[in-house]
Each structure stands twice: as C-alpha cells, then as structure tokens.
C-alpha cells in the first residue's frame, strides 16, 4: 500500500510541476498575442487614410451593436439572416456570425471609388462556392482588381459577397 501512496504523491508532484509549466507557457503566449495585436493596430493605423479609417471605424462601431435590423436575405456562407448596417448612407447586409458582407449591385463601387463593383469582372473567373442570396444561382469568383490577389464572389445581376476581412482588403486596395 505504501508504494501506491508514494506513486500517487509522485504523480501529484509531477502534475503540479506540469501545471506550472503550462501556466508559464500560456502567460508567455498571452504576452506574444498582445504584442502582435499592438503591432497589427500600428500597422493598419499607418496603412489607411483618414477617410478609410473613418469608414472602418463606422463599420466596427455598428457591427458590435445587438439591436441591428434584420435583413430579408440570408448569408450564402452560413445561411443566417443578414443584419443591416449603414456605410456612407448605403444600407449594407452584414452577417454577424461569419462577419461577411453583401453589397447590392452598384453599392460596392460607391465605397471603393471604382467605376464598377468589381473592376476586374471582365477578366477570367471561376465558379464560386456560394450561391447568390437573392436568386440562389451560383456566383462567379473574380480577382477584385489586378495585381492584387483578392478574390470576391459576384452575381452579375444582384451584387457582391465579401467574406470576413475582404472588405478591409477592398478598402485597403482602393
């Protein structure tokens, strides 16, 4: 019996040592994560113009609200109803679950400043993995604008779907 008690005590001792190592590892990674977040914030504060920063701030302040109006259309990625936010007096559909956006025809060009929603929509495209939330037909995937490698999903009849973080890239490129 004494051997089992000693073994149990050794296991507890090893466990607490292991727990301390784990705690130190988590604290170290938490500090790395905070430093990385600060680095990203500084990078993007220098990357966007004042107008672009205002647009992004406006978006971020709205998407955090819990009382957004619900849209009648569903996100093609997760099938949840979009919520409606307003950017530059344009109502945009936003999915709070997957953090994506739907722009009806001619809305994205008003945000980006380009003459078309997808400036490179005349170039080669491929079938998107998403269907249009309006007509349920398969969308096409286009490079937003050359030489950038941002791929966006577009229904030529109804609008453009931007996945999480793609709107930031559109604003950055514009």
Let me know whether 25 and 76 are in one domain. Answer: no
Let me know whether 2 and 86 are in one domain. Answer: no
Let me know whether 42 and 111 are in one domain. Answer: no
pLDDT average, residue stretch 1-8 = 56
How far apart are the C-alpha atoms of 18 and 39, rounded to whole Å? 31
Let me know whether 105 and 168 are in one domain. Answer: yes
Could you tell me the residue range of the domain that residue 169 belongs to? 67-173
First CA to last CA distance, the chain: 74
Is residue 30 in a domain?
Answer: yes
The tens digit of pLDDT for each residue in 79-101 reads 999 999 998 899 999 999 999 99
Put simply, whether the predicted model's pTM sits higher than 0.75 gets the answer no
b vs e for 41-60, b when ≥16 Cβ sit within 10 Å of the residue's Cβ? eeeeeeebeeebeebbeebe
The tens digit of pLDDT for each residue in 156-173 reads 999 999 999 999 889 888
Q: Under DSSP, is residue 85 helix (H, G, I), strand (E, B) or coil?
A: strand
The tens digit of pLDDT for each residue in 107-126 reads 999 988 899 999 887 888 89
Let me know whether 12 and 77 are in one domain. Answer: no
How far apart are the C-alpha atoms of 167 and 62, rounded to whole Å? 15
- List alpha helices for 48-80, DSSP H: 50-63
Let me know whether 103 and 162 are in one domain. Answer: yes
Angstrom CA distances, 97 to 22, 82, 158, stand at 32, 9, 22
Let me know whether 134 and 74 are in one domain. Answer: yes
């Amino acid at each position: 019996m004494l051997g089992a008690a000693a073994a149990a005590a050794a296991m507890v001792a090893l466990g607490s040592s292991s727990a301390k190592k784990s705690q130190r590892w988590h604290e170290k990674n938490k500090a790395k994560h905070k430093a990385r977040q600060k680095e990203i914030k500084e990078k993007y504060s220098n990357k966007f113009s004042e107008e672009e920063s205002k647009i992004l701030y406006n978006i971020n302040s709205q998407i955090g609200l819990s009382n957004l109006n619900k849209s009648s259309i569903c996100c093609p990625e997760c099938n949840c109803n979009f919520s409606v936010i307003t950017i530059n007096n344009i109502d945009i559909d936003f999915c709070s679950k997957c953090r994506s956006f739907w722009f009806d025809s001619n809305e994205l060009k008003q945000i980006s400043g380009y003459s078309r929603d997808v400036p490179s929509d005349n170039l080669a495209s491929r079938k998107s993995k998403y269907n249009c939330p309006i007509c349920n037909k398969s969308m096409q995937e286009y490079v937003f604008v050359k030489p950038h490698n941002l791929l966006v999903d577009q229904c030529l009849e109804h609008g453009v779907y931007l996945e999480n973080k793609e709107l930031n890239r559109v604003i950055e490129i514009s």
